[in-house]
Amino acid sequence: MRIFRGTPVSPGIAEGNVYLYQAFSCDVFESYVPEGREQEAFQAYQAAVHTADAELVAIIHSFAETDADKAKIFSAHREILDDEEIADEIRTAILDESKSADFAVDSVFTAFATLLSKAGDALIAARAADIRDVRNRVVRILHGEAEKNLSRLGAPAIVVAHDLLPSDTATLDKKNVLAIITEVGGTTSHSAILARSYGIPAILGVPEATNALPDGAYAAVDAITGEVYLEPDESSLQLLHQKRDAFAEDMQDASRYLAAEGRLADGTRIEIGLNIGSANDAGALRNCDFIGLFRTEFLYMQTDFLPDEEDQFEAYRRVLADAAGKPVTLRTLDIGGDKTLPGLSMPHEENPFLGNRALRLCLTHRDLFYTQLRAALRASVYGNLWLMFPMVGTLDDIRAAKEAVGEAQRQLESRGIPYDPKVRVGIMIEIPSIAIIADRAAQECDFASVGTNDLCQYLHAADRMNPQTEAYYQSFSPAMFRTLKLIFEAFAAAGKPVSVCGELAGNPQAAPALAGLGLRKFSMNASAVASVKRALSHFTLEQCRTIADQVCRQDTEADVKALLSNPFPI
């Protein structure tokens, strides 16, 4: 037995076989076959096409009932594989030009994809991404590598990877993921947030995990303490089973609060919001008062091309209609930082978290921005839409974003398309420069939501993705709570609603302090709702205020944590 350690970011206990996920790099070099061996190379190519086709048939079959749209994508891949023009060119490249099979496949597919991606049409460009996908599949088979695909694991497994891209997690085969272990990422990286929202135990920042945990090996995961056991012995397994049962019991206890209204012990009403990443997550809204964060970028990550206005309109309309009048806070595209888009090429930046991210990126890609705003505004007639902009740093940002909304409204008017003119427009408070002038910001928007995940990294200058800076990334620091106090007071004075939708709002230990600082709207992942409601129900408003007051007077994060772990003699 060997034990490895990392940061536990989504609690739970799991055991099973390791599924080592290493994305295939598909590098191909210029190479030729010796004279007389062309026929052999051609046969290898034909055999690879045959295997690729069998893989695609199996994928289509597995998606046929659950996800017709995905099945359609892979049917299109079969057509590409079967394309006569492509096949002819590859035959010529191998038989007449003596190119090796992988080099021939690479040159012909890449030439076709490049041609299409230059067409300047979103639909045709999407076709180019499909061609690249098929190219990767055939090259991988020619290189003798097995398929690794997180969207189809086939059997329950512990996923081990260097990192999971948000696009990987967005398409994850959730029902088969027992746990997630990665080498990078911290408590509020997007892999962590997704793992928590799906209730999948996860430990991030385990150094060398992909070397130390072999594919297929048996492992146990304690995502409460952050330990991974490779080939665990009997006594460790027994302890883990006891812990697993206690954890399940605690979850069971908290679940009694799930359907209740959020209230403090004295009856003070606390609104509980839900964070979602797709239209499919909104089911848990029955236990919540509003959707406090709809991370729309995940819609953009599920395919290799950018969703058009119709696709987005349909997704937003569905969420708004399902919410049946409850407010839906739709956050506009938050790309950059650790999130890139397969369908959007972005120049390399030295410090992407400090770079052209989120609202900044939208303001420099106006077409992208207007398309999303039009889709959201069109959907607004189906429910109660609150539009929210991420990464606002100045009042200039707020004004520019509002102007863009005005422009999108004019575009719809010129097309005679209705929208709800009363849509509320708000901001995320994630950058200290806007937190400090929250009083001024409150005058220029209808509401705010505090993104504590980013606020914490910018306040402490500690990368939320970097396990090396985890100790500096202090969500419970006195500085965080004092900053929150400033924001809550500014919005209360302006009579405008303010919520917190960062991970801190879903942390039961922080709940009484946040309520004591004045917060009445908490928004969180579905998996946190029950335990936060339970935590709030234990304290009166007066007790919360005392706790908040004490928290703000502590010296260090450790002091705050000690105080909150045993806050008050109740």
Candidates 395, 340, 333; CA nearest to 369 is: 333
Of 38, 271, 454, 557, which lies in the binding site for ligand PEP, with binding defined by CB under 6 A?
A: 454
- 255: tokens are 């679940």
Strands (E), 162-289: 177-182, 202-204, 218-222, 227-230, 271-276
The vertex-425 CA angle with 419 and 429, nearest 5°, equals 155
* Least separation in angstroms between CB 524 and ligand PEP: 10
Output 244 or 339, the one with its CB closest to ligand PEP.
Answer: 339
CA distance 246 to 241: 9
Output 100 or 457, the one with its CB closest to ligand PEP.
Answer: 457
Output 193 or 526, the one with its CB closest to ligand PEP.
Answer: 193
Q: Does 431 bind ligand PEP (CB under 6 A)?
A: no
- 111: tokens are 């030439």
Beta strands across the sheet bearing 227-230: 2-5, 227-230, 218-222, 13-21, 157-161, 177-182, 202-204, 7-10
Q: How far is CA 429 from the centre of its chain?
A: 19
Residues that contact Mg ion, how many (by CB under 5 A): 3
Task: Choose the contact partner of 501 out of ligand PEP, Mg ion, none; CB within 5 to 8 A by kind.
Answer: ligand PEP
| Segment lying near Mg ion (by CB under 5 A), choices 86-94, 103-111, 443-451, 538-546 | 443-451
DSSP structure string for 418-434: ---TT-EEEEEE-SHHH
Task: Choose the contact partner of 287 out of Mg ion, ligand PEP, none; CB within 5 to 8 A by kind.
Answer: none
Candidates 261, 264, 254; CA nearest to 290 is: 261
Neighbour count for residue 22 (Cβ, 10 Å)? 12
Output 185 or 232, the one with its CB closest to Mg ion.
Answer: 185
DSSP structure string for 504-566: GGG-TTTHHHHHHTT--EEEE-GGGHHHHHHHHHT--HHHHHHHHHHHHT-SSHHHHHHHHHS
| Segment lying near Mg ion (by CB under 5 A), choices 181-189, 249-257, 454-462, 561-569 | 454-462
- Which residue of the set 288, 362, 445, 501 is catalytic? 501
Q: Are 534 and 257 in contact (CB under 8 A)?
A: yes
CA distance 159 to 174: 11
Q: Are 429 and 153 in contact (CB under 8 A)?
A: no
The distance in angstroms from the start CA to the end CA of the chain is: 43
**Which string of x and - marks every residue 173-212 that binds ligand PEP (by CB under 6 A)?**
---------------x----x-------------------
| Segment lying near ligand PEP (by CB under 6 A), choices 162-170, 201-209, 265-273, 447-455 | 447-455
Q: Does 453 bind ligand PEP (CB under 6 A)?
A: yes
Q: Does 451 bind ligand PEP (CB under 6 A)?
A: yes
Q: Does 166 bind ligand PEP (CB under 6 A)?
A: no
Q: Does 168 bind Mg ion (CB under 5 A)?
A: no
CA gyration radius, the chain = 26
**Which string of x and - marks every residue 415-434 that binds Mg ion (by CB under 5 A)?**
---------------x----
Of 271, 281, 334, 463, which lies in the binding site for ligand PEP, with binding defined by CB under 6 A?
A: 334
Residues that contact ligand PEP, how many (by CB under 6 A): 12
Q: Does 397 bind Mg ion (CB under 5 A)?
A: no
Q: Does 463 bind ligand PEP (CB under 6 A)?
A: no
Q: Does 205 bind Mg ion (CB under 5 A)?
A: no
Task: Choose the contact partner of 510 out of Mg ion, ligand PEP, none; CB within 5 to 8 A by kind.
Answer: none
Strand 177-182, strand 202-204: pairing? parallel
Q: Residues 72, 78, 84, 89: is their CA dihedral positive or negative?
A: positive
Q: Does 332 bind ligand PEP (CB under 6 A)?
A: no
Q: Does 281 bind ligand PEP (CB under 6 A)?
A: no
- Which residue of the set 77, 190, 445, 460 is catalytic? 190
Task: Choose the contact partner of 194 out of Mg ion, ligand PEP, none; CB within 5 to 8 A by kind.
Answer: none
* Least separation in angstroms between CB 389 and ligand PEP: 12
Q: Does 483 bind ligand PEP (CB under 6 A)?
A: no
Q: Does 474 bind ligand PEP (CB under 6 A)?
A: no
CA distance 354 to 300: 22
Output 304 or 430, the one with its CB closest to Mg ion.
Answer: 430
| Segment lying near ligand PEP (by CB under 6 A), choices 4-12, 105-113, 130-138, 451-459 | 451-459
Q: Does 100 bind ligand PEP (CB under 6 A)?
A: no
Q: Does 465 bind ligand PEP (CB under 6 A)?
A: no
CA distance 292 to 271: 10
Output 294 or 539, the one with its CB closest to ligand PEP.
Answer: 294
Q: Does 338 bind Mg ion (CB under 5 A)?
A: no
Q: Does 503 bind Mg ion (CB under 5 A)?
A: no
Q: Are 491 and 521 in contact (CB under 8 A)?
A: no
User: Crossing angle for the helix pair 309-323 and 366-379, nearest 10 degrees?
Assistant: 40
Q: Does 168 bind ligand PEP (CB under 6 A)?
A: no
Q: Does 336 bind ligand PEP (CB under 6 A)?
A: no
The vertex-168 CA angle with 162 and 171, nearest 5°, equals 150
Tell me if residue 190 is catalytic.
yes
Of 106, 338, 454, 503, which lies in the binding site for Mg ion, with binding defined by CB under 5 A?
A: 454
- What φ, ψ does residue 456 adopt, rounded to 5°? -65, -45
What secondary structure, in 3-state letters, does 117-141 show? HCCCCHHHHHHHHHHHHHHHHHHHH
Residues marked as catalytic? 190, 501
Q: Which residues bind Mg ion (CB under 5 A)?
A: 430, 451, 454
Q: Which residues bind ligand PEP (CB under 6 A)?
A: 188, 193, 293, 295, 334, 430, 451-454, 501-502
